[in-house]
């Protein structure tokens, strides 16, 4: 192998590792938010319920000493109070954990007015606000400046994309040569795009393959990027000639997030993800929307 080829292989491994680190961070954050909510719940229950939990912090002080000694500074009195307040604000459960991180919640839990708090949560969901952007919206009194405040503001449910009713199952992809790796499969699909689109359903258009996108530090390459006119959203496709793994979903969600932040317009719906995988001799196309994966089977058919 030439020197350039070795470097290319090294860069490929490094980029793969960087993606894995970032996707692990996303999963770790979701677990963190849920854990803190449950810690808050247990504190409230130990203090005698919601009506009593707002008063008296002797138990928190006592627990903080032990937890800090055993697990570090993350469990000081201030943080335990935050966990308690987090639960009191969101007693129904941290259902937004995939859309907001713990730092978002730290800004929101001090907003007592539920309508106001829900308004800012909706802003985060609709516009993918960073913590800094959320903080700026709160400081600018965005809620107070609303010309016509609704009597009740509910937290929105992110758009649930419906799969087109004309989608085929199984999906058939015609092939001429053997498909031995992801690159072969990518070339096979690209060589039969029109046919492939008809199998997926109506409204799909081609944007690019090995589509470059960046998080500001590293470049990443999406195997195939489509846009669906009917669903009004981008569709990122990743190809894996093996069984579906947990990190595959995290990877495609990472790409979907970058597309939503950098490419999609305000009038577009959130990006949809597709992971094409293989189970034994059966190929599966996995749609990723919200927190769910929808498997559809497809097969390669020789012409």
Domain boundaries, the chain: 3-110, 171-302
Q: Would you place residue 301 in the very low, low, confident or very high pLDDT band (cuts 50, 70, 90)?
A: very low
CATH topology of domain 171-302: Trna Endonuclease; Chain: A, domain 1 (3.40.1350)
pLDDT of amino acid 187: 76
Backbone angles phi, psi at 264, to 5 degrees: -65, 145
Q: Is the pLDDT of residue 85 over 70?
A: yes
Distances (CA, A) of 169 to 92, 137, 271: 37, 45, 22
Choose from 59-68, 260-269, 270-279 the range with maximum mean pLDDT.
Answer: 260-269
Contacts of 278 (CB under 8 A, 6+ apart): 240, 241, 242, 243, 284
Start-to-end CA span in the chain (Å): 35
Structure tokens at 254: 């990472």
How much of the chain, in percent, has pLDDT values that exceed 70? 66
Tens-place pLDDT, residues 8-54: 665 666 666 666 555 566 666 677 788 888 888 888 888 777 665 55
Q: Give rounded-to-5 percent helix, strand, coil for the chain.
A: 45, 20, 35
pLDDT of amino acid 95: 53
Q: What is the mean pLDDT of the chain?
A: 75
CA-to-CA distance for 16 and 288, rounded, in angstroms?
20
By CB atoms closer than 10 A (0-12, 13-18, 19+), residue 199 is buried
Q: Would you place residue 138 in the very low, low, confident or very high pLDDT band (cuts 50, 70, 90)?
A: very high
Structure tokens at 60: 């928190």
CA-to-CA distance for 189 and 184, rounded, in angstroms?
9
pTM attached to this predicted model: 0.50
Q: Is the pLDDT of residue 107 over 90?
A: yes
Residue bearing tokens 């002080």? 61
Q: Residue 292 gets which letter from DSSP?
A: E
Distances (CA, A) of 44 to 60, 102, 167: 10, 19, 49
Q: What is the mean pLDDT of residues 102-130?
A: 87
Q: Is the pLDDT of residue 299 over 50?
A: no
Q: What is the mean pLDDT of residues 235-260?
A: 84
CA-to-CA distance for 301 and 111, rounded, in angstroms?
58
Tens-place pLDDT, residues 118-136: 999 888 877 768 888 899 8
Taking a C-beta distance cutoff of 8 angstroms, is the pair 250, 257 a contact? no
**Does residue 237 sit in helix, strand or coil?**
strand
CA-to-CA distance for 174 and 183, rounded, in angstroms?
16
Distance of CA 17 to the CA centre of its chain: 19
CA-to-CA distance for 39 and 61, rounded, in angstroms?
15
Q: Would you place residue 162 in the very low, low, confident or very high pLDDT band (cuts 50, 70, 90)?
A: very low
Pairing, β 204-214 against β 171-175:
unpaired
pLDDT of amino acid 41: 84
Tens-place pLDDT, residues 169-205: 555 555 556 667 777 777 777 776 766 666 666 778 8
């Amino acid at each position: 192998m030439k020197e350039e080829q070795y470097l290319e292989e090294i860069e490929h491994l490094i980029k793969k590792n960087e993606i894995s680190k970032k996707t692990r961070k996303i999963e770790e954050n979701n677990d963190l938010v849920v854990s803190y909510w449950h810690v808050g719940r247990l504190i409230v229950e130990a203090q005698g319920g919601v009506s009593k939990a707002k008063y008296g912090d002797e138990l928190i002080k006592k627990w903080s000493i032990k937890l800090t000694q055993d697990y570090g500074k993350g469990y000081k009195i201030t943080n335990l109070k935050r966990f308690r307040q987090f639960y009191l604000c969101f007693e129904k459960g941290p259902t937004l954990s995939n859309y907001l991180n713990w730092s978002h919640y730290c800004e929101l839990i001090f907003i007592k007015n539920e309508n106001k708090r829900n308004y800012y949560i909706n802003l985060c969901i609709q516009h993918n606000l960073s913590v800094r952007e959320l903080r700026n919206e709160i400081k600018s009194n965005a809620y107070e400046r609303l010309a016509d405040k609704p009597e009740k503001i509910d937290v929105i449910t992110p758009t649930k994309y419906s799969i087109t009713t004309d989608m085929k199952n199984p999906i058939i992809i015609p092939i001429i040569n053997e498909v031995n790796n992801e690159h072969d499969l990518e070339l096979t699909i690209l060589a039969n795009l029109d046919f492939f689109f008809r199998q997926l359903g109506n409204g799909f258009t081609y944007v690019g393959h090995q589509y470059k996108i960046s998080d500001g530090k590293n470049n990443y390459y999406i195997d195939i990027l489509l846009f669906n006119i009917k669903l009004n959203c981008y569709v990122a496709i990743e190809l894996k000639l093996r069984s579906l793994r947990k990190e595959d979903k995290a990877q495609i969600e990472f790409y979907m997030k970058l597309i939503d932040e950098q490419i999609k317009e305000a009038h577009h719906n959130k990006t949809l993800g597709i992971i094409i995988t293989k189970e034994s001799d059966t190929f599966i196309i996995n749609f990723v929307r919200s927190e769910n994966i929808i498997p559809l089977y497809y097969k390669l058919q020789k012409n």
